[in-house]
Amino acid sequence: MDNNAVVLVTGADGFIGSHLTELLLLRGYKVRALAQYNSFNSTGWLDKLPSSASLEVVSGDIRDPYFCRDLVKGTSVVFHLAALIAIPYSYHAPSSYASTNVMGTLNILQAARDYGNIRVIHTSTSEVYGTALYVPIDEKHPRQPQSPYSASKIGADALALSFWYSFNLPVTIARPFNTYGPRQSARAVIPTIITQVASGAKSVKLGSLTPKRDMNYVKDTVAGLLSLAENEATVGREINICSGKEASVGEIAEIIMDLMGGGVPVITDEQRIRPEASEVQRLWGDNSLITSLTGWKPEYDLRKGLRDSIEWFIRPENLARYKPGLYNI
């Protein structure tokens, strides 16, 4: 990657996208950051980043192919993170996931191809694997669309790879496992636990406690994304970004309670439980491929990452942005 060229980050206003934007600026890159257009002039978490002459913030929508052509023009690398990600909402609005995650990805790929085969780092998700058929999960594991969300990401991944095979578009499929950390939505389990405890709740409401996840602190995830873009050996590959360890939701809750010094009881909230066949019971990733190709390794273990997350969420100005008593699908 050329530090003098412009790097595009779609979904830069979100959780992972804002951390990636921050890292790119820190490394000296010029960044064009896409925030979803809205009438409030809000650029999401980008609002909280220091102003920089190297940062250009653009508002728009990846569902518009004409907008995407203007967005991609003049860039050298595209980190494509823009997507609808909430699994429960995908049960209610599957068409929205198809139009954003599949067609939005197609628009970015086509624009990158039209402007001279610009490098694309397409962000996938471990949800495409579904419940592990074997562990640790490597990149050859079968895909299992256990939710409309995962189906839309499987479709987007397949489109991205088809542009590599058909048009030689230099695409890399980055597949982060469960990422957590500052700025994450409270729809995710770790912010849900922390914000409920920090707000003084007498009990913590969760869904199932038995699913196991491979948890990645956000700084490790974005470092992994950057490592893929900085290494030509990753082109045309699907590559996991994961810790190589697993913990159940119940175990994660116990660690958070211990770090926060509270013995708040956990109760099951039926509305937070996925349909039985849709719940992904186990995700434990194999990170040997990314390590062998780029040298990337996670720097945060679960306890260290949770400690840093708690410190951020409990700050009054940050906690005030959340509504712990309200469950939002």
Assess whether 32 and 53 both reside in one domain. Answer: yes
Q: What is the mean pLDDT of residues 39-54?
A: 94
Q: How confident is the prediction for the chain on average, in pLDDT?
A: 96
d(CA 187, CA 322): 10
Domain contains 195: yes
- As for how many domains the chain has, the answer is 2
The residues pairing with 79 across neighbouring beta strands, listed in sequence order, are 9, 121
Which pLDDT does position 297 carry in this prediction? Answer: 97
Q: What is the mean pLDDT of residues 200-210?
A: 92
Assess whether 88 and 209 both reside in one domain. Answer: no
Domain contains 56: yes
CATH number (domain holding residue 143): 3.40.50.720
Q: Express as a percent the part of the chain with pLDDT over 90.
A: 91
The answer to whether residues 319 and 195 touch, using CB atoms and an 8 Å cutoff, is: yes
The residues pairing with 127 across neighbouring beta strands, listed in sequence order, are none
Assess whether 146 and 255 both reside in one domain. Answer: no
Domain contains 326: no
Assess whether 11 and 59 both reside in one domain. Answer: yes
Which structural domain, as residue segments, surrounds residue 193?
182-213+245-283+301-319
Nearest to 286 by CA among 141, 106, 112, 114: 141
Assess whether 203 and 275 both reside in one domain. Answer: yes
d(CA 21, CA 9): 7
Residue 3 scores a pLDDT above 80: no
CA atoms within 13 A on the CB side of 310: 21
The residues pairing with 75 across neighbouring beta strands, listed in sequence order, are 6
Nearest to 185 by CA among 97, 88, 298, 277: 88
Q: Tell me: the pLDDT tens digits for 290-329?
A: 999 999 999 999 999 999 999 999 999 999 999 987 887 7
Which pLDDT does position 295 carry in this prediction? Answer: 98
The whole model's pTM is what? 0.97
